[in-house]
Chain A
Amino acid sequence: MTNTEDRWAGERLMESHFHPRQAALNLRDAWSSWNGYKFANYYYDAEYEYFCIRNSCGTYDICPMQKYEITGPDAEAMLNRMVTRNIANLKENRVTYVCWCTDEGRMIDDGTIFKLGPEKFMLTCGSPCLAWLRKSAFGFGDVTITDMSDETAALSFQGPASCEVLKKLGLEGIETAKPFDIMHFPFQGGSGKELMVSRTGFTGDLGYELWIAPELALDLWDALYDAGDDYGIHPYGEVATNMARLEAGFIMPDMEFSEALKTIHFQHDQTPFELNLGWLVDFKKPHFNGRRALLQDRDKGPAYKLTKLDIEGNKVAEGAYLYSNRRCTQEIGYITSAMWSPVVKANIALAMIKPEYLEGDIWAEIYYQKELRQYSKVAKCTVKNKPFWRPARARATPPPGL
């Protein structure tokens, strides 16, 4: 063994296509991991980075997200059989949000499908899904599934200034992209390579996702950071994403749901109805995976229902149990994610609550710490039907100025 060999190589995480730039900006060395990639928790200050999403603009590395290309004459039928939503009407250069379930109707994962051509789709999701895709293709003759995860560089670019910056980057007409639209641009003139931009994201704000060949990743980064310099562009990581998505009311695996294929106990995973994703389930389309079980679940009503809560006071209700009475004797559910929302100035949470209790009082028993001492309080919760944060600019086309 020569001494230049890295003896820890087998233990090291992979580095994303944007890693050299991101590592230079990660002043706090705050790394975690996602799907085997080294992945930033935050770079400088998590809350500051969260505010870039709400106030200026920021980039979030989605290289570690899983991306599969599904092509062939049967691609659409196969996907439509796998996911609960009807994608038959999905137009070319459009994206749609989907989820897919086991035969028992339990949710495996959620993700997005990009229709890139009549017989060409891209599926993106948080966790590896190749095995399930292969299983789902069983019986479909002409489908090719290619894992593109490591061969695509992708950067989420979110925030009120994002459209302005993309315009400055030279993406002509980007302001005409509607939510879930896909546009293609030549990247840096005649290189022959293209930059794909979708108006998608996980922040509930104005934002885009940029898709490019790995060899152009750093060029894209540099050009984007150049264009964004006067607009406060900044990378953000896991912590800021988690804050933004909770304000938007989006669910997160391992927070709101347990991926069904990884769950040991049969009651510990969820159906789309429990997660408020009933609108993704289309019983009118031809057969799809989990259909029978989901029909039953719909008619019987879910055991729990994902609910948005506004909680009095400012003590974050992380991990709190919920009760129907102030004395906390009748348990009715539990908090899945909670935070103080700096932009809305509210104490917000997502919770799983037994539906029969949704009309009555809801109280959270919150534990918190002050200088090593434990305190608890019981706080009244109010059910919210709309996302906590949903600015008009997230939907407007063209987006308004800054």
Chain B
Amino acid sequence: MKQYDAIIIGAGHNGLTNAAYLAKAGLDVIVVEKNDYIGGAAVSRELHEGWIYSNCSYVCSMMRQALHRDLNLTRHGLVLVPYLGTVGFGDGDRPLISYHNADASYLELRRHSPHDADSMFRFQADLARYAQLIRKTLLRTPPDPTSFRPRDIQEMLFLAKQFWMLGEREIYEYMRFFTMSAAEFLDDYFENDLIKAAMASPAVIGTALGVYSPGSAYILLHHVMGDVDGNIGAWGLARGGMGAISTALAGALQEHGGEIRTNAGVERILVKGGKAIGVALEDGEEISARIVVSNLDAKRTFTQIIDKDDLPPGIYDKAKNFKIRGSSGKLNIALSGLPKFTGVPDNRYINRGGQLFAGSLETMERAYDCWKRGRWSDDPFIESVIPSAWDPTVAPPGKHWMAAFVQYCPSKLADGPWTPEKRDQFGQTVIDKIERYSPGFKDLIVHMEVRTPHEIEAEIGLTEGNIFQGELTLDQLLFNRPFPGYAQYRMPIKNMYMCGSSTHPGGGVSSACGANAAREILLDLKLPNTVPEDDCYDE
């Protein structure tokens, strides 16, 4: 039987990245994917003729530019394109418009609050400072703070130096920031409810925290630490949908001789004498390899595809208790025309970009309360984008699709399991809310894909539908991700690694987890590293 050098379980974008870098180093790799399509949560599918949805992730900012460049992803068809203005809808009449131009944005803020318009400069500078620091860790392996190996000490020193460069006062601020709530953080800058709500929106996306929960300030940072061509905090679109990222990564992998097999779900990781030796597929076929890499989340990897008896003591429980609470829903809505929003001028740069149906911090917290009680929010927070207004390839000319991301939606309902009827009711709640701000919106709908955590888990195997493959709180970040002691991509079974978003630096379409894992694997195999350095160090 053929033995591969490496099997990667899961063709999520991180699995593909990992495989591409291993193949680039000359390894004979195969990626096995349970679905008949690749990409995991970075995927585009045509569910309604002529419309190409980015079914899960829909905007791009975290993708490491250095990897894009190094793997020639543009040559493999990936082009990242911008979308402009975002409008925040509050509980009152007048929306908050975020223009693409600094002066225009300042004037708009001043119309809402001269104080906040001024404060925004300090807010942006502070966030940029925090972001610059965290960005420098993205393409690095977190050091083990308990280890005395030279590499760990060196990495600890690197981190310490970056911290030190912030200055003494900022070190305190930074530590506070990691454990603060988004609301507390924002209170220090802003007075206006709508401005606060709009600024808080990145803090709730994907998390099972509310704006008043400690730790939510970091989530905010996680969503603004990316960049588009060096503009930190900016978001763009992948031309042709997020699946273009996965397709390009697959192209890079194949260029280096790697293989991908779809419809090949893994039933079990085969372990012999404490070493991973291959996988058994759902159809019974066994594939053997020198190393096995899991792109699945930590909970799924250790509680579903490994025999409990093959694990050293303690790991199973750690995995079982890994915090991976689903909290998000997503609607992909095909529209026969461009929706109009109340209070938004007919300005083509701002009436078709992104929308935040945020309300106020209070509204957002009430939406969270529903989640805690096992219900979907009756007045949910929605962040939407209309990619078709910027990318001519994802809907027929003149037609559009809207990606609507929804907080909060629980993976388990208090009143029993999810059913298709409940899913549709959830969808209804969301479009009812949009209709409030866009009368006539519902008449434009020609097709809709409604996804609750239940569908997200069933289709792409994100446990509980958690979009980050595990909550992004300090106890599960950096050297604690996924578990303390296992943050360097090596898992407790020999020759087994993890490369998905459950590892540092966490969720989002960044390719960083996959690349970092590849670097560690190559180190263990004593092969030259193929993973480039990040290009953000002289920011």
- Give the interface of A toward B (CB within 8 A): 28, 44-45, 47-48, 51, 54-56, 160-161, 164, 230-232, 313-315, 340, 342-346, 370, 375, 377, 402
Would you call B74 an interface residue if the criterion is a C-beta within 8 Å of the partner chain's C-beta atoms? yes
A48 touches B538 (CB 8 A): no
For the complex, what is the distance from the CA of A47 to the CA of B100, rounded to whole Å? 11
List residues of B (382-439) whose CB comes within 8 Å of A's CBs.
389-393, 397-398
- For B539, the chain A residues whose CB sits under 8 A away are 370
Nearest A residue to B391 by beta-carbon distance? A55
- For B265, the chain A residues whose CB sits under 8 A away are none
Given A28-B101, A230-B397, is A48 in contact with B65 using a C-beta cutoff of 8 Å? no
Given A45-B84, A402-B393, is A55 in contact with B538 using a C-beta cutoff of 8 Å? no
Would you call B115 an interface residue if the criterion is a C-beta within 8 Å of the partner chain's C-beta atoms? no
Would you call B196 an interface residue if the criterion is a C-beta within 8 Å of the partner chain's C-beta atoms? no
Q: How far is the CB of B72 from chain A (nearest CB, A)?
A: 9
B392 touches A402 (CB 8 A): yes
B100 touches A55 (CB 8 A): no
Q: How far is the CB of A202 from chain B (nearest CB, A)?
A: 20
For the complex, what is the distance from the CA of A270 to the CA of B9, rounded to whole Å? 57
- For A230, the chain B residues whose CB sits under 8 A away are 392, 397-398
Report which of A56, A340, A343, A370 forms a contact with B392, defined as CB distance below 8 A: A56
Per-residue CB contact flags for chain B residues 349-390 toward chain A (1 = under 8 Å, else 0) read 100000000000000000000000000000000000000011
Q: How far is the CB of A224 from chain B (nearest CB, A)?
A: 15
B65 touches A314 (CB 8 A): yes
For the complex, what is the distance from the CA of A345 to the CA of B82, rounded to whole Å? 14
Q: How far is the CB of A186 from chain B (nearest CB, A)?
A: 25
Q: Can you list 9 contacts pairing A with B, beta carbon distance less than 8 Å?
A: A28-B101, A45-B100, A55-B81, A55-B239, A160-B392, A164-B397, A230-B398, A314-B65, A314-B535
Given A314-B535, A345-B68, is A51 in contact with B101 using a C-beta cutoff of 8 Å? no
Q: Identify the 4 closest CB pairs spanning chains A and B, nearest first.
A: A230-B397, A230-B398, A345-B69, A55-B81
Contact residues of B: prevailing secondary structure: loop
Q: How far is the CB of A11 from chain B (nearest CB, A)?
A: 28
A345 touches B74 (CB 8 A): yes
- For B392, the chain A residues whose CB sits under 8 A away are 55-56, 160-161, 230-232, 402
For the complex, what is the distance from the CA of A346 to the CA of B67, rounded to whole Å? 11
Given A232-B392, A314-B535, is A48 in contact with B79 using a C-beta cutoff of 8 Å? no
Nearest B residue to A375 by beta-carbon distance? B538
B79 touches A313 (CB 8 A): no
- For B69, the chain A residues whose CB sits under 8 A away are 344-346
- For B390, the chain A residues whose CB sits under 8 A away are 55-56, 232
Report which of A45, A160, A232, A342 forms a contact with B229, defined as CB distance below 8 A: A342
List residues of B (53-79) whose CB comes within 8 Å of A's CBs.
65, 68-69, 73-74, 79
List residues of B (68-120) whose CB comes within 8 Å of A's CBs.
68-69, 73-74, 79-82, 84, 100-101
Among B229, B397, B538: residue with most chain A CB under 10 A: B397
For the complex, what is the distance from the CA of A313 to the CA of B390, rounded to whole Å? 29
Q: How far is the CB of A228 from chain B (nearest CB, A)?
A: 10
Would you call B230 an interface residue if the criterion is a C-beta within 8 Å of the partner chain's C-beta atoms? yes
- For A340, the chain B residues whose CB sits under 8 A away are 229-230
A54 touches B79 (CB 8 A): yes
For the complex, what is the distance from the CA of A343 to the CA of B75, rounded to whole Å? 10
For the complex, what is the distance from the CA of A265 to the CA of B101, rounded to whole Å? 43
- For B73, the chain A residues whose CB sits under 8 A away are 345
Nearest A residue to B72 by beta-carbon distance? A344
For the complex, what is the distance from the CA of A161 to the CA of B84, rounded to whole Å? 19
Having A314-B230, A345-B69, one finds 7 other A-B pairs with CB under 8 Å, namely: A231-B392, A232-B390, A314-B65, A314-B535, A315-B538, A340-B230, A345-B73
Nearest B residue to A168 by beta-carbon distance? B397
Given A231-B397, A343-B74, is A44 in contact with B349 using a C-beta cutoff of 8 Å? yes
Per-residue CB contact flags for chain B residues 230-259 toward chain A (1 = under 8 Å, else 0) read 100000000100000000000000000000
- For A160, the chain B residues whose CB sits under 8 A away are 392
Given A45-B100, A345-B65, is A51 in contact with B535 using a C-beta cutoff of 8 Å? no
- For B81, the chain A residues whose CB sits under 8 A away are 51, 54-55
- For B68, the chain A residues whose CB sits under 8 A away are 345
Nearest A residue to B230 by beta-carbon distance? A314
- For A28, the chain B residues whose CB sits under 8 A away are 101
For the complex, what is the distance from the CA of A187 to the CA of B347, rounded to whole Å? 30
For the complex, what is the distance from the CA of A329 to the CA of B349, rounded to whole Å? 50
Among A45, A313, A342, A346: residue with most chain B CB under 10 A: A342
